[in-house]
Homo-oligomer: A and B are copies of this chain.
Amino acid sequence: MSKLKGIKDYSENELRHKIKTIIEKHYRRYGFESVETSVLTPMDVLTSKYGGGAEILEEIYRLTDRGDRDLGLRFDLTVPLMKVLREKSESIRKPFKRYEIGKVFRDGPTKKGRLREFTQCDADIVGCDKLLAEVELINMVLDIFEEVGLSVKVKVNNRKILEGYLTSKGIEDEKIDEVILTIDKLEKLEFDTLVKELIDKGLSEQLAKDTLSELTDASYDDLKSIDNQIVQEGLSELSEVTDYIRALGREDYILFTPTLARGLNFYDGLVYEVFTTEGNVTSSIAAGGRYNKGVREVTSSDSSAVGISIGLDVVYELLKDETTTNRDGVLVIPLGKEYEIDALKIATTYRSKGYLAEVEKVDRSIGKSFKYADRTNKRYAIVIGEQEVKENKVTVKDLKTGEELVEPLPNKEQ
């Protein structure tokens, strides 16, 4: 039967569950609430203005239903959030802090860490103008990767710095978004390729070269000396956020990167991308920014929005060769059919104490049962047979240390 490239099943996969659980725990601890949006989306919603660049639109999986409606599969979790905001604009009270962990679909080229069906973990704050929102998201993502066990750097920039800088270079307003799209590729493509791209977009060769090289080398102080109000505003926001992160003792994680743009003109304030120094994945593992402009175009309100999105699959890819930690489970092994009920009762008692507990359900030697316990991450084994029932006690064997502990049979009175 057919197989599909870029579309994976994850069997017996406790590591993915662990990563997802850590992300969700922190999202909730920071006060984000669960939102679940639909996968099937009307095409007119997906292709509307805020949908992203034309590149993404080409990657939409399209289909029609029985009623011949044009549908597509969601390609991110931001468009569905915009749909919820528009449809429920009156009932949603702000600030609206939501998270969603869900699958998205893109019919594009695949590579390591880039699949056609993948899982995003998004957190967004709608209705908060303050930079405290950005600080919260960056601080949260650092908490997450600390617990996940990946060392990270957060590259930060501000779209205002880019826009103001390009204006100060004399580039016309209507060309700025296009130029930024090219600048965003600085870490992926050759310098000369990008110079050509900028010339095609109407810049002189000199201006194209100057812009790219100046931005790459620009320090905070270089940009501070530019006489442009938008640049100054961007720098001031950036330093406020950095001050807060410093106060939290985490400034070492922050790296000002003037060429960072996050592609889409959907963003209009602070932007950030998280990278890890471990493994061989060069793409970002999380990214986000402020998109007041995006949310305003869609909801026709004067609202504001900031978000972050973590890529579950790329994080999983980085960690998958590590061993997962053991759990404290119990396997109860009945020595024959007549002890199955006792085994069931013992397992119930352990479960009610919060343990993972399972009854051995296959006839095999005790040695093989112990092996099954071991490979399914159980720490303890309890054997129950004639002697145990007669003496009214069981032996709990610790499979890690080899120790044995004799305990009275639970639920004797039943």
The verdict on A2 contacting B34 (CB below 8 Å), with A340-B132, A361-B130 known, is: no
Q: Is the CB of A84 within 8 A of B11?
A: yes
The verdict on A14 contacting B1 (CB below 8 Å), with A9-B83, A95-B362, A139-B344 known, is: no
Whether, in the assembled complex, A152 has its beta carbon less than 8 Å from a beta carbon of chain B, the answer is no
The verdict on A39 contacting B105 (CB below 8 Å), with A13-B33, A31-B356, A414-B249 known, is: yes
Q: Is the CB of A38 within 8 A of B7?
A: yes
Chain A interface residue count, Cβ-Cβ cutoff 8 angstroms: 91
Whether, in the assembled complex, A224 has its beta carbon less than 8 Å from a beta carbon of chain B, the answer is no
**CA separation between A301 and B93, bound complex, in Å?**
56
> Which residue, A36, A48, A96, A249, has most C-beta atoms of chain B within 10 A?
A36
Q: Is the CB of B84 within 8 A of A9?
A: yes
CB-defined interface of A11-46 with B at 8 Å, one 1/0 digit per residue? Answer: 111101100000000001111011111111010110
Prevailing SS type, chain A contact patch: mixed
Q: Is the CB of B4 within 8 A of A71?
A: yes
Q: Is the CB of B65 within 8 A of A359?
A: no
**CA separation between A413 and B88, bound complex, in Å?**
46
The verdict on A29 contacting B357 (CB below 8 Å), with A9-B83, A63-B62, A362-B95 known, is: yes
Q: Is the CB of A17 within 8 A of B34?
A: yes
4 tightest Cβ-Cβ pairs between the two chains A and B: A2-B42, A31-B358, A63-B63, A17-B34
Q: Which residues of A contact B (CB under 8 A)?
A: 1-4, 7-14, 16-17, 28-31, 33-40, 42, 44-45, 48, 61-63, 65-66, 69, 71, 73, 80, 83-84, 86-88, 92-98, 103, 105, 107, 116-117, 125, 127-128, 130, 132-133, 135-136, 139, 143, 243-244, 247-249, 329, 340-341, 344-345, 348, 351, 354-359, 361-362, 372, 375-376, 378, 414
Known: A63-B63, A248-B344. 17 other contacts (CB 8 A): A2-B42, A2-B69, A4-B40, A7-B38, A7-B40, A9-B38, A9-B84, A13-B33, A13-B36, A29-B354, A29-B355, A30-B351, A31-B358, A40-B116, A40-B117, A95-B362, A132-B359
